[in-house]
A and B are shown apart, each in its own frame.
Chain A
C-alpha cells in the first residue's frame, strides 16, 4: 500500500498570503496524484489531477507541482473561501490512498 503523508497537519495563514502544502508518497506514484478541498459539512471537491492540471472551474491561484514521491499544492493568495481541509490522493496503485489532510486555517 502506498502511504501518503501530508504536512503540515495545520497551516495558519492570513488572507492574501501564500499557502504551500506538501504531500509525500512512500513510493513513486509518477504524476498520478490529485488534490481535493473539503469544507465542513460538504463533500470533497477535485482541485488538481495529474499532479499539476487544474480541474474544470478551479481558480488559477491553485497550482500543483511534483512527481514521483514529492508533491506540492500552492494557493498563491488565500481568499476567505479557501480555508478548508486539503487532501492528496494517489491513483497509481491499488488500493487508492489519501493523505491524512492539511487544515488551512485563518491566522
Chain B
C-alpha cells in the first residue's frame, strides 16, 4: 500500500523558517515526480514545487522562488520542503504528492500557520 506521511508543520512567526518532511512507502520512490501542493484555509489547491526523480530538475511557483527549496533523500525515501522567510500568505495545509504524470498519491497534509 502506498503511503505518504507529512510532518514538520506548525505555528511560525513571519520571517521564520520551517522544514517539512514527507516519508514515502509502498512505491518505487526514485521513479516518481514528487510534488508539494498547498491549500489555504477555505481555498483551492495551489501547486508549490516539483522535483524529478534523481533531483535533476526542480520547479517552483513564482511566489516561493528564492524562499523555498525542495529536495529528496532516496535512501530515506523522503521528500522535503525547506521554507524560509515565511509570510502570512504561506499559511496552508501542505500536501506531498507523487506520480508518474499526474498526482497519483497524496499524503494527509500538514498545517503551516504563519502568524505573530
Contact = CB atoms under 8 A, between A and B. Distances in A.
- Chain A partners chain B: yes
Interface of A: 32, 34, 36, 38, 42-46, 49-50, 55, 87, 89, 91, 94-101
Contacts, number: 59
Contacts of A97: 47
A36 B62 contact: no
Contacts of A87: 44-45
B67 to A, nearest CB: 15
Contact of A34 (B60, B102, B109): B102
Contacts of B104: 46, 49, 55
Nearest to B45: A98
Given A45-B106, A46-B99, A89-B47, 19 more contacts: A32-B101, A36-B103, A38-B45, A43-B106, A43-B107, A44-B45, A44-B103, A46-B106, A49-B101, A49-B102, A50-B102, A55-B102, A87-B44, A87-B45, A91-B101, A94-B50, A98-B45, A98-B46, A98-B47
Nearest to A34: B102
Given A43-B108, A43-B109, A44-B45, A95 B62 contact: yes
Contacts of A99: 44
A46 B60 CA distance: 22
B80 interface: no
